[in-house]
Chain A
């Protein structure tokens, strides 16, 4: 949405395969986040990054990995160690004086068959 691109919108993978979800932003925001949303539920934080080459685990980081080599990019890899990877994945950037205002991308719906 706006300056945040997530691709693809829908993704299908076989069980046991790793898959990487893309998140690119041109908003020049320092902070970036990955959330997972299951049907009818709120969002849960997977990983976040406040600055290039630094990132921190969120509440449900197990089975996921990230990198932040560029300010504009924060890809998320869903590994085979993630027990139930089928979900809606949302990338966000943080801005505002205190990073409390987050802007979200359109999301990627991952289905593992």
Chain B
């Protein structure tokens, strides 16, 4: 299983761009990188997924360098409501997601 490492916590201010980096040095060729967001007492919510280079959706961007040993989730102009825990996961498509490991994640606090 590809192990991921993320910062335990980050602070930011409203309106700033936040970048959360995840290390996954032993990522396998077939692994995809997926990010989830979780608010207290709720289930995680899918944010974005990618394999290489850059992926962008209406919520975030995901940057993946050529060696794929790390990835960066970018949240543009955060607001107080972006305060949550963010999880980085890697997983192979042929495992149907059952080998996803949700580590402790990164606790993002957005301050006014």
Contacts and interface: CB of A to CB of B under 8 A. Distances in A.
Contacts of A31: 96-97
Interface residues of B, number: 24
Contact of B87 (A42, A44, A94, A96): A42
A81 B47 CA distance: 36
Contacts of B91: 100
Interface in A53-85: 56, 58
Contacts of B36: 102
A100 B93 contact: yes
B65 to A, nearest CB: 20
A42 B49 CA distance: 19
A107 B96 contact: no
A102 B94 contact: no
A35 B42 CA distance: 12
Interface in B40-57: 41-46, 49
Interface in A23-66: 31, 33, 35, 40-45, 48, 50, 56, 58
B19 to A, nearest CB: 21
Contacts of B103: 42
A104 B43 contact: yes
8 contacts: A1-B45, A31-B97, A42-B104, A44-B102, A90-B43, A90-B44, A101-B46, A107-B42
Interface of B: 32, 34, 36, 41-46, 49, 87, 91-94, 96-98, 100-105
Given A98-B96, A104-B43, 11 more contacts: A1-B45, A42-B103, A42-B105, A90-B44, A98-B92, A98-B94, A100-B49, A102-B46, A104-B42, A106-B43, A109-B41
